[in-house]
């Protein structure tokens, strides 16, 4: 048996976009989101990474993490939809976005592109062989799970990733999903 590599993913805390059902922009956490993150146990890992957006950096800070910004962990690009409420997008476009992993919002990123980006990143984490903690976005967490399970892209939106939820995986020849959702934030087997 080879070395086990552990990966812990923490979804960022609540923002106004989440509360208003808006496609996110680079925005801060709400006061309640920041407070919730501060109440969690302190996290650590040999390698701590943070997506580049403000909401993930603020979550990491509230958790007491000093992680390196990792651009690959950036959120799914909503393109021209960024900042708009979900109900302001044409219903047929929303349906296409939720069901067709090749659909791109105007100027945005398709689910298949996100999953390919994250599959590449997962391979680099496995190759590095270092336990890693990453503070990132719900779409990225979903893409990690799809990659680990070899699940189809149209399954992405079927996974619920609440604010500050923790997802654990380990790699020993292949990625295995250990736990998904609310969990005690510790990097242990």
Per-residue tens of pLDDT for the chain, all 189 residues = 568 999 999 999 999 999 999 999 999 999 999 999 988 867 777 889 999 999 999 999 999 888 899 999 999 999 999 999 999 999 999 999 999 999 999 999 999 999 999 999 999 999 999 999 999 999 999 999 999 999 999 999 999 999 999 999 999 999 999 988 765 444 333
Model's pTM, two decimal places? 0.93
Q: Show Cβ contacts of residue 79 under 8 Å, excluding neighbours closer than 6 positions.
A: 104, 105, 106, 107, 108, 109
DSSP structure string for 34-85: HHHHHHSPP---SEEEE-SSHHHHHHHHHTT--PEE-GGGPPP--GGGTT-B
Number of neighbours of residue 119 by Cβ within 10 angstroms: 16
Residue 81, both tokens: 């939809």
Give per-residue burial for 122-148: e unless 16+ CB within 10 Å, then b. Answer: beebbeeeebbbbbbbbbbbbbbbbbb
CA distance 153 to 118: 12
């Amino acid at each position: 048996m080879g070395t086990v590599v552990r990966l812990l993913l923490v979804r960022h805390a609540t923002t106004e976009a989440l509360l208003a059902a808006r496609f996110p922009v680079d925005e801060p956490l709400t006061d309640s989101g920041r407070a919730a993150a501060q109440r969690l146990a302190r996290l650590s890992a040999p390698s701590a990474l943070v997506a580049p957006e403000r909401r993930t950096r603020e979550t990491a800070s509230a958790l007491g993490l000093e992680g390196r910004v990792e651009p690959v962990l950036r959120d799914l690009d909503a393109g021209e939809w960024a900042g708009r409420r979900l109900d302001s997008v044409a219903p047929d476009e929303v349906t296409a976005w939720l069901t067709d992993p090749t659909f791109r919002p105007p100027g945005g990123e398709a689910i298949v592109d996100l999953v390919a980006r994250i599959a590449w990143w997962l391979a680099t984490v496995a190759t590095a062989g270092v336990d890693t903690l990453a503070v990132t976005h719900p779409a990225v967490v979903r893409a990690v799970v799809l990659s680990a399970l070899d699940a189809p892209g149209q399954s992405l939106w079927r996974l619920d990733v609440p604010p500050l939820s923790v997802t654990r995986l380990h790699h020993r020849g292949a990625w295995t999903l250990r736990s998904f959702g609310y969990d005690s934030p510790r990097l242990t087997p």
